[in-house]
Amino acid sequence: MAYRFVADSTVEANVQRVFSEQLGKAVEQLSENFQKQPEQAVHNARKCLKKSRSLLRLVRKSIDKSIYQQESQRLRDVGRSLAPARDSAVYPATLSTLLDTYGLTLDVNSFSTLKTGLVDLYNVQLDNLSDREQFIAAVMTDLEASQTNLSQVALKQTGWKAVAKNLRHIYSQGQQNFDQAYNDGDDDDFHNWRKRVKDLWYCTCLLQSLWPPIMKAFESELHELADLLGDDHDIAALRQFLTHHAKEVGVKDVHMQVLVPLMGHRQTKLHRRAKTLGQKLYGETPKAFSDRMASYWHA
């Protein structure tokens, strides 16, 4: 089924079903698809993990504290263990997109050599995962344990009360991170905001049945904002990698002389677009947002 709550089920039943589906899909990607399409399998598995973690945050105050802490930590650790392969896949793609945006080709200043180095790094990371059958087996064991636990998790509250405080907190966190990002302009601050935007986006997907036309529009705008901040994060991650691992991929001074200004300019444009969307999506107080969602729930 789709990643959303259905109106004819209880909140608890919806939560259990979504956890079971998402974690089951993650296991399937790593057990059945990894050998054939490793990059896509890792990407899909991590996406399922992120959806599961967002749902976990949505019911955080409605489940046993020890279960939340245990499963949050386990899913975070699994996601981090898969991150190097995914990150290394993003580096060459981000380089190509950046150069295309400014009308440059890989032939200029030997950027083709740099991209080859980044692609080689990605292949090494994939080989490392592919050769570590015990590692993948351990990851799947963790995912299956989480699936078993969360597919039968009990909620302390029912109906709107099961998600109300958590949804309000997720919105409030995003609002705070939005302000922090534009006050300081630090890459980490924008990345933190992105994570909370994705939480709110996934929660909006789950709650789409509250009022489909309104929630779909809100979801679409949040998706666009998450994509803008994702592009920003990819650039920041590439810059950090090239700065600290230059020898690994053959970075030359001329590469950084060209790329660093382009990266800064591109991020500035992305930040402007993200700010416009952020002002619209986070324009309410957390209480007003929560009250509006409650009115949809009880209509």
CATH code for the domain in which residue 197 is found: 1.40.20.10
Residue 156: inside a domain: yes
pLDDT at 283: 97
Query: Percent of the chain, pLDDT > 70?
Result: 98
Residue 124: inside a domain: yes
Name the more confident of 64 and 129: 64
Domain hosting 112: range is 11-298
Chain mean pLDDT for the chain: 94
pLDDT at 132: 67
Q: Which segments within the chain are labelled E, that is strand? A: none
Residue 284: inside a domain: yes
Of 221, 204, 199, give the one whose Cα is nearest residue 293: 204
Residue 3: inside a domain: no
At residue 28, does pLDDT exceed 90? yes
User: 279: pLDDT confidence band, cut at 50, 70 and 90?
Assistant: very high
Residue 21: inside a domain: yes
Least confident of 133-142, 239-248, 263-272: 133-142
What DSSP string describes 187-213? HHHHHHHHHHHHHHHHHHHHTGGGSHH
Residue 134: inside a domain: yes
Residue 4: inside a domain: no
Residue 179: inside a domain: yes
pLDDT (mean) for 12-24: 98
At residue 38, does pLDDT exceed 90? no
pLDDT (mean) for 42-59: 97
Q: What is the total count of domains within the chain? A: 1
* Whole-prediction pTM: 0.95
pLDDT at 39: 83
